[in-house]
Amino acid sequence: MNADFTRYVEARWTDLVGGLEDEDVAPEAARIAVAETLLASRRSWSRRVRDEQVDVSLWAELRERTGLPARPGEPAPHGVRPSDPRDPPEPWFARAEALRGARRRRGLVRAAAGVLVLAVLATGWQWWASRPPAAEVREEANELPVVWYSQGELHLEDVVVTLPEIEEFAASGSGVVARLGSGSVVHVDADGDVTTGHDSTEALDDPPEAPTFIAFTQYDVLVQAAPVPGGGWAYLLDSSRRDSAQDALRQSESGRRALVVCMSEGKCGEPVTILGAGGSIRLR
* Size (the chain), residues: 284
Confidence label for 109 from pLDDT (cuts 50, 70 and 90):
low
Instruction: Confirm whether 127 is domain-assigned.
Output: no
* Mean pLDDT across the chain: 79
Burial class from Cβ neighbours inside 10 Å (0-12, 13-18, 19+) for residue 103 reads exposed
Among candidate residues 20, 43, 41, the one with its CA nearest the CA of residue 32: 20
Q: Same domain for 15 and 84?
A: yes
Q: Same domain for 199 and 230?
A: no
Higher per-residue pLDDT: 38 or 197: 38
Instruction: Confirm whether 190 is domain-assigned.
Output: yes
Instruction: Confirm whether 170 is domain-assigned.
Output: yes
Identify whether the C-beta of residue 132 lies closer than 8 Å to the C-beta of residue 182.
no
Among candidate residues 38, 34, 12, the one with its CA nearest the CA of residue 23: 34
The set of residues, in sequence order, having a beta carbon less than 8 Å from that of 121 and lying 6+ positions away, is none
- Would you say residue 96 has pLDDT above 80? yes
- Domain span at residue 182 reads 133-207
Confidence label for 245 from pLDDT (cuts 50, 70 and 90):
very low
Q: Which of 73, 97, 121 is the last residue of a domain?
A: 97
Phi, psi of 223 (to 5 degrees): -100, -55
Instruction: Confirm whether 139 is domain-assigned.
Output: yes
Count of the separate structural domains present in the chain: 3
Instruction: Confirm whether 126 is domain-assigned.
Output: no
Taken in order 74, 79, 80, 85, is the CA torsion positive or negative? positive
Q: Which of 207, 233, 259 is the last residue of a domain?
A: 207
Whole-number pLDDT of residue 249: 34
Higher per-residue pLDDT: 134 or 11: 11
